[in-house]
Structure 1
Amino acid sequence: MTPETAPSALPCGLQGRRPPLARELAFGLSLFALYAVAAAFPVGDRHAVAADHGRQIHDLERTLHIAAERPLNDWLASHRTIAVLANYEYATVYLVSTLWLLAWLYHRRPDRYRAARTSFALINVIGAICFALWPVVPPRLVPDLGYVDTVMAHGTWGSWGSPVVDHADRLAAMPSLHVAWALWVSVELARLPVRRWLQAASLLHVFVTIYVIMATANHYVLDAAGAVVVVWVASLLTDRDSGRPRAPIVPPEDAFFLAVESERAPQHVGGLIFLDASDGTPSREDLIATLRSRQDELPRLRQRLSPPSRLRRRRWVAQPVVDWDWHVHEATLPEPGDAALNALVGALQSEPLPRDRPMWRMIAVRGYAPDRTAVIFLMHHVVADGMGVITHVLRLLTPPDALPAAGAGPSATRRALGTVAGIAQLATESRQRTRLPATGTGERVFGTFRLPMPAVRDLARGHGVRVTDVVLCALAGGLRRVGPLAADPEGGRTLRVAVPLMTGGPEVPPEGNHTSAVMVDLPCGPMPEVERLRTLAAATRRLRSGTRALASAFVMQRAARALPPVLHGAFARAVYGDRTFQAIATNLPGSNTPALLAGAPMALAHPIVPTGPGAPLAVGALGWTGMLNLGISAEATLVDDIDALCRAMRDVIEELGTADVPEPPGAAGLDQARRGPGPSVRG
């Protein structure tokens, strides 16, 4: 067994241990004894009170227009054979399936048995409390409601309500434990790596049980709803009822990127880092030593995902043995220079990270230049967003660096009002018709260029815009010149781009996704670049209002928590990609503090941003020690030459710098940057 597949998610001391069988049987008998106590609980004339409660539920259902029991009961009562089968199903299947699962867990999955047994016990305890304090007569035993008792009408021997089991508690309709037990079985199976047909059969049994309890007039619709609430509460309490620390849950805003990922659309972010060090240094062992020393600060370096489940969120569980040979390795370029290095980055972007181990990699690249070493650092988007990856890198540096404070953010009232306004804006936003030719081949290409940051800032200031506007204008103009829109004769064509914005607090934690995307339409038609920049600056005002970002964060971080994983995944795939946007562009803050990585001076870093399903282009800009470093990722079939797109984007910025506006003091630096990537520019 390899280190990455070794089981490690179980708590120490509980792996493979079963509680004594005699104690478990006694515990089960005590649950049945609880029903006798509940049935004897003094609530006046219990039958009369329970009948009144049944009528109240019936009246409430009619008010809500959800009273479905009567037509179901009328149909079933007129079909004797089906009614008899339904009676026996009501009496036996839920009990057999529950006992089978408890026995199977006890013998085959003792690691899960304890938690499952505890949640099952809680379901029954909560049910007994409800029966004792608020007894409810089933519809078939309230004569004035007009229901047919299918058990008595068709003489079903041995079923609930027949003379053989006439001692059963008849005042225990709310909640329906038949539905609760069936649903509990389905929930537990969904948490286990069992065959899909078994999970599907269990889920079908839940719906059959809901139908049967109403058609046989043993329960109301709201009794089934009450059962769902009871199972949910019991599962929630069981998750928290633990004397040991629990593995952290993967939040929905992070799991979002697991759902949208496919073999052809890997979702890992990262950085291409350059060190002022001779080729061969730092060594692989130096990099591993640096990573080991920061493991306590960066827990995701030694954690992996728990197995998937349709109903239960994944957790970050400890990886007992980190496979350093896989996570940190060396690669040698076939020839020196940027072309071979960028080809290597594109190849790594095309490969999904495996989910059976910590989801990150670090590659020391040899052969780039005699006096320079390249390091590629990749992390899956479920671990962190672009800011989180930068924070990881900053924590690995010597001395450790930190991002500047982002501010306290809006007050709770302003945040709530802004969220409401943003949701209204998102709901009324028009759909984008422009599409980039995404082929979904999975093959990626990567390109880079860089510019002096002071010159870009002065250029932006001279035009009255922001650096992000300059980057977006360069992207739009570059696509117009050499990209897939170059031959487009239509004027006024726009391209919708997702621009991530920070929505978290003043500190940027290394783990998790703390950004939300705001959509901006880039003007990609034929026009002077100054006019394009002016038009784009007006469109990016929505980035500064904050309302759309707040609404997006609310949907991703709050509303999504109400969805089980299977529905959350469907939601993520429905909204991500060309249905919402066609490209991604992000401008990230970096660091201006000189620092070392594994003892080598860090010179600069280019961001690596993943493309999305149906969004085959991603651009990242990162300010680092006085340079604005750009990384462009694209599907290989999108542009004929990724380097040509980089040159076109740089030409757009140069044209903006020479436009008829007051020339900022640092604009001359753009001429030097235009010479292209190479040792002279990198230094």
Structure 2
Amino acid sequence: MEHLSALDAGFLEVEDSDPHISMAIGGVSVLDGPVPDFDELVTALTERLVTVPRLRRVLRTHRFDLEPPEWVERTGLDLRHHFRRTALPQPGDDATLFRAIADIFERRLDRDHPLWECWVIEGLAQDRWALVMKVHHCIADGISATRMVTGLSDNGASATTFATDINATDINATDINATKSAAATGAGRSLPLNPLDWGRGAVELSATATTVAARALRGTVEVVSGLVSPAAASSLNGPVSTLRRYHAARVSLSEVNAVCAAFDATLNDVALTAITQGYREVLLRRGERPDRTSLRTLVPVSVRQTEDLDTPDNRVSIMLPLLPVDRANPLDQLRLVRSRMSRAKSSGQKQAGSSVVGVAGLLPFPLTAWAVRLLSRLPQRGVVSLATNVPGPRQRLQVLGRDVVRMLPVPPIALHLRSGIAMLSYGDDLTFGIVADYDSAPDLDVLATGIERSVARLAELAAKR
């Protein structure tokens, strides 16, 4: 029996707060045909999935949230119940595939069973088919969910080299972990003979802890300010319906890397700049004026250690940068994105999120559960979009000998965010998977095209430079 952490359980509370949302995340692998025998495929994938304990356990909750939910073993479970198959109508193009993805992810997972599904979609153009892995966010964050999707391949996630994380400077170290490490290191040493060394060590550890606390406090102020300060009124923020739309944009990692080298930017800076231009084109197409505060974006940041990559759970913090959707020049956009992300990292926003999660884990669970439910029911107006990034496998994958030619990420939307974007690298592709509310976002193609056009334009400028 395993209890959910406060962060894991928070995704259940958020889902319970709005009957129109599903907190499922996942990925889609497009493969070259022919489609293998369904029973053979199910048998092979089941053997690979049962190695993850949370995928063979059922969620048990307690009345009035008096205790944290827990994962429990249940005898007699037939995991074949979780495998589904469907076929696309002709011509089986991207538009019909995207519609099928939206249909699959807009429906909530059944909490009476393990919280995942695996879909086989047949009938894609060019004699291709797709494998869809859908899991509840309380099971895993983007990185561990991607490891699960990759684990379906013939060589498995543990044998796969993953691309450098887009927020590489954030993934393997936090100031809080550094402080813990310093304390642990000091605890493991023999006591120095010189009493002056005792005081010096205490002062150094105290200074580190004070610096971390000050940065976390400053970051907390910025995060809270971003949440309570309403964004400029636009159609990007508001209640959502039950139905979803899905679209994807694909750009070349080689071009992105060329832009990074030419303008001293990170891959994440370039990706967020492309998203900025995409949303700018959406607002202009809708006849709305892009404002400086129109696009405050929730950017999850991994705080997962390398040794925990294969542990399915949630280990993320957040940053809330304002993306410069009011600027038309692509280099201005890139410069501002870079400076604002640097400021968000140095100001302690990430540490603030980690601290809040850590404190929530120390409080009585009913208090945190009721607080999350109350806050998630309030109509927040400060954050407008979600942009999350996940490192994908470098080498090409196969499933039962079939080549994976494309991988598409699928994020959730909630809390009055009418659209969300997940970025996933695979081979030489960086794919932007976009989920949006069906009724309020009929123009996802404009957003996707704007992202692709932005990267192409920046690559042109990089080549000239």
Same fold (TM over 0.5): yes
What is the CA deviation profile of residues 461-480 of structure 1, one whole-angstrom value per residue up to 9, with x for unaligned ones?
21221121222122221121
Output the amino acid matched with 1:265. I
Find out whether 1:258 has 2:12 as its counterpart: yes
Output the amino acid matched with 1:268. A
Give the Å deviation of 1:419: 4.8
Find out whether 1:425 has 2:219 as its counterpart: yes
Larger radius of gyration: 1
CA pair 510-320 structure 1, distance change in 2 beyond 3 A = same
Aligned pair partner of 1:358 in 105, 114, 117: 114
Give the Å deviation of 1:304: 1.3
Gaps of 5+ in 2: 165-170, 180-204
Partner of 2:188: none
Q: Which has the higher strand share?
A: 2
What is the CA deviation profile of residues 160-206 of structure 1, one whole-angstrom value per residue up to 9, with x for unaligned ones?
xxxxxxxxxxxxxxxxxxxxxxxxxxxxxxxxxxxxxxxxxxxxxxx
Quick one: distance in 1 between partners of 2:400 and 2:409?
A: 20
Structure 2 residue matching 1:520: 3-state secondary structure: coil
Partner of 2:232: 434
Aligned pair partner of 1:538 in 332, 339, 344: 339
In the TM superposition, 1:7-86 aligns within 5 A as none
Give the Å deviation of 1:330: 0.5
Structure 2 residue matching 1:630: 3-state secondary structure: strand
Partner of 1:636: 438
Aligned pair partner of 2:330 in 521, 529, 548: 529
Find out whether 1:387 has 2:189 as its counterpart: no
The CA RMSD measured in Å over matched residues stands at 2.4
Partner of 2:38: 284
Quick one: distance in 1 between partners of 2:113 and 2:284?
A: 38
Structure 2 residue matching 1:494: 3-state secondary structure: coil
Aligned pair partner of 2:252 in 437, 452, 472: 452
Aligned pair partner of 1:618 in 420, 428, 441: 420
Identical amino acids, percent of aligned pairs: 23
Partner of 2:371: 570
Quick one: distance in 2 between partners of 1:416 and 1:251?
A: 27
Q: Which has the higher contact order (CA 8 A, sep 6+)?
A: 2
Quick one: distance in 2 between partners of 1:322 and 1:511?
A: 20
Confirm or deny: 8 A CA contact 1:265 1:612 kept in the other structure. yes
What is the CA deviation profile of residues 483-529 of structure 1, one whole-angstrom value per residue up to 9, with x for unaligned ones?
47852236534311111111121231341101111111111115212
Output the amino acid matched with 1:318. E
Confirm or deny: 8 A CA contact 2:121 2:130 kept in the other structure. yes
Would you say how many aligned residue pairs link Structure 1 and Structure 2?
Answer: 415
Give the Å deviation of 1:253: 0.8
Greater mean alpha carbon deviation, residues 468-477 or residues 315-324: 315-324
Greater mean alpha carbon deviation, residues 623-632 or residues 562-571: 562-571
Quick one: distance in 2 between partners of 1:598 and 1:583?
A: 37
Find out whether 1:249 has 2:43 as its counterpart: no
Greater mean alpha carbon deviation, residues 473-482 or residues 568-577: 568-577
Partner of 1:267: 23
Quick one: distance in 2 between partners of 1:637 and 1:270?
A: 23
Partner of 1:305: 59
Give the Å deviation of 1:415: 7.1
Quick one: distance in 2 between partners of 1:416 and 1:349?
A: 44
Q: TM-score, normalised by structure 2?
A: 0.82
Structure 2 residue matching 1:523: 3-state secondary structure: coil
Partner of 1:588: 390
Partner of 2:194: none
In the TM superposition, 1:460-471 aligns within 5 A as 460-471=260-271
CA pair 551-527 structure 1, distance change in 2 beyond 3 A = same
Find out whether 1:344 has 2:344 as its counterpart: no
Give the Å deviation of 1:566: 5.4
Structure 2 residue matching 1:271: 3-state secondary structure: strand
CA pair 496-534 structure 1, distance change in 2 beyond 3 A = same
Confirm or deny: 8 A CA contact 1:311 1:564 kept in the other structure. yes
Structure 1 residue matching 2:306: 3-state secondary structure: coil
Q: TM-score, normalised by structure 1?
A: 0.57
Gaps of 5+ in 1: 1-246, 665-683
Quick one: distance in 1 between partners of 2:383 and 2:210?
A: 26
What is the CA deviation profile of residues 4-29 of structure 1, one whole-angstrom value per residue up to 9, with x for unaligned ones?
xxxxxxxxxxxxxxxxxxxxxxxxxx
CA pair 416-325 structure 1, distance change in 2 beyond 3 A = farther
Confirm or deny: 8 A CA contact 1:503 1:515 kept in the other structure. yes
Quick one: distance in 1 between partners of 2:346 and 2:41?
A: 42
Confirm or deny: 8 A CA contact 2:50 2:56 kept in the other structure. no
